[in-house]
Amino acid sequence: MSPESAENAITQYAAWMTLNCICRLEGIVHRIGLLCPSGVPLAGRVVPFAPKATGLREALLQGAKQIGIVPVEDAVKHEHVLLVGGEMPGIVEALHLYADAWCGGISRDVIPITSDSRLPFGAYLAASLAAAEVFKAARMKPEFHQPVSSVFYSTWHHLTADKPIEGGPASINVQIDAALAGVGAVGSGVVHALWACPGLSGKVILADNDSKGIDSTNLNRYALFGRTSIGEPKAHEAARIAKGTNIVWEPHDKGFEELEVNLPSLVISAVDRNASRIAIQQRYPPRILSGSTLDLRAEILRCGPPGVGACLRCYNPEVRRTPDDEIRGALRESSEERLRDIAAAAEIDVATVKDWVQTGRCGTAGQTLLSMLRESHSQHMFSVSFVSVFCATMLAGEILKECLGASWPLSDTLQRAVFQFRTPLARSNRANAYGRDPNCPMCGPDKPACEIWGKRFRALRQPRL
């Protein structure tokens, strides 16, 4: 971190989120050195894992220790340098991070951070882009990875450019009334961004029904959680970590479709399964924002207008549920070693597994095996921290733009924004129109349910055009 801007809130946001992301790149980053000036006070809510830290450097080191994946060494300089905040004595070759309130990016040239905004969005975008360059350099073949000289993204405009993009308010004072479905990789990142952002009040309902809660396999991509969160339910743990703001977090350790509360007009979908997306759409909330990731791609969507723009069910068909007998039939062909591995993973003795495979008798063991096998079959190929943080930042910014009624995309005519880290300067990395799936059974203009959704949608404030 450059000493000249270390007390700047945006510099601190960028430093923490960069460290947060690269600390989670197990098998990609071997070790990290932190060069941070001493005696710098925290500029606000920067590191959620270090509530009692007395200064920035202490907070950064405590936060990295809580993550506990890639070790961080204090006052150590390594060969490859990510530099936040401007120039630094003794540093010649570096990838520089730049951010303002809404725009963030990276450059091989020095761009000092001069903004006095306390909004974290640009900083989190810059951190994600920097971590992505680290990941691509380590994991992509040289012929498929050309290091960028500069790339910037604005979540106010949803545009990509090779130089900073100006625009958006430097501060916000709004009241949120929303429900967040899914507090996993993207959802926890949304909570982190809203927690860090000053000027917010209101209430956010958190809903997540993952019965396992947070486990060690989540830590590579969950920006809000560290080692002490393992075993805790996601919604309640997110609410605990994010306390201390003027936002009231109302956690529910159940699925959105199970909520028995009065729902707000704004619902944010951060779930990763089509069945969950369909369950949200089936309640037809007036306004739906959605965020999702796939490998190195982040996407957010503003659903509607009803009958015109895509709903959550569009292009997301319900995945066929494999029948129990089909799963048992496949296991009958498995080797003895495979059955032993399954039994060990499910913590069930092999004889019980074999009995269930042959007879299909109902019971706790059978339900445990079915649940485990279906879940393992549906896992994504891979997921990394910086994609989740980038998507969450886009989504958190869009929540506030919705509260402001901002006349910028996303809108009724430009409903979706996509960012692909493989090609960060591609013209497709921007807001675009996204019409409904003509085969969708839930949002056809002739469907009674769509008419109900339309009335709710139009009853809100003036559309964002």
343 falls in which pLDDT band (50, 70, 90)? confident
Question: What is the mean predicted confidence (pLDDT) over 109-125?
Answer: 94
**Strands 431-432 and 416-420: what pairing?**
antiparallel
**Does the residue 46 lie in any domain?**
yes
Based on the domain organization, do 106 and 70 belong to the same domain?
yes
pLDDT at position 457, please? Answer: 94
**Does the residue 299 lie in any domain?**
yes
Based on the domain organization, do 288 and 430 belong to the same domain?
yes
Based on the domain organization, do 361 and 269 belong to the same domain?
no
Residue range(s) defining the domain that contains residue 82:
3-161
Based on the domain organization, do 142 and 192 belong to the same domain?
no
Model pLDDT for residues 225-283, shown as the tens digit of each residue: 999 999 999 999 999 999 999 999 999 999 999 998 899 999 999 999 999 999 999 99
* Domain total in the chain: 3
Based on the domain organization, do 255 and 142 belong to the same domain?
no
Above 90 in pLDDT, residue 51?
no
pLDDT at position 53, please? Answer: 83
Based on the domain organization, do 271 and 332 belong to the same domain?
no
Question: What is the mean predicted confidence (pLDDT) over 431-446?
Answer: 94
Based on the domain organization, do 41 and 153 belong to the same domain?
yes
User: Taken in order 56, 58, 61, 65, is the CA torsion positive or negative?
Assistant: negative
Model pLDDT for residues 278-290, shown as the tens digit of each residue: 999 999 999 999 9
> Contacts by 75-82 with C-beta closer than 8 Å and gap 24+?
75/33, 75/34, 75/35, 76/33, 76/34, 76/35, 77/33, 77/35, 78/31, 78/32, 78/33, 80/134, 82/18, 82/22, 82/130, 82/134
Question: What is the mean predicted confidence (pLDDT) over 23-36?
Answer: 95
Above 70 in pLDDT, residue 465?
no
pLDDT at position 333, please? Answer: 81
Model pLDDT for residues 369-401, shown as the tens digit of each residue: 777 776 554 444 468 999 999 999 999 999 999
Based on the domain organization, do 149 and 179 belong to the same domain?
no
Model pLDDT for residues 286-323, shown as the tens digit of each residue: 999 999 999 999 999 999 999 999 999 999 988 666 77
CATH classification of the domain holding 435: 3.40.50.720
Above 80 in pLDDT, residue 33?
yes
Based on the domain organization, do 187 and 267 belong to the same domain?
yes
Based on the domain organization, do 360 and 413 belong to the same domain?
no
**Does the residue 340 lie in any domain?**
yes
**Does the residue 234 lie in any domain?**
yes
Based on the domain organization, do 266 and 399 belong to the same domain?
yes
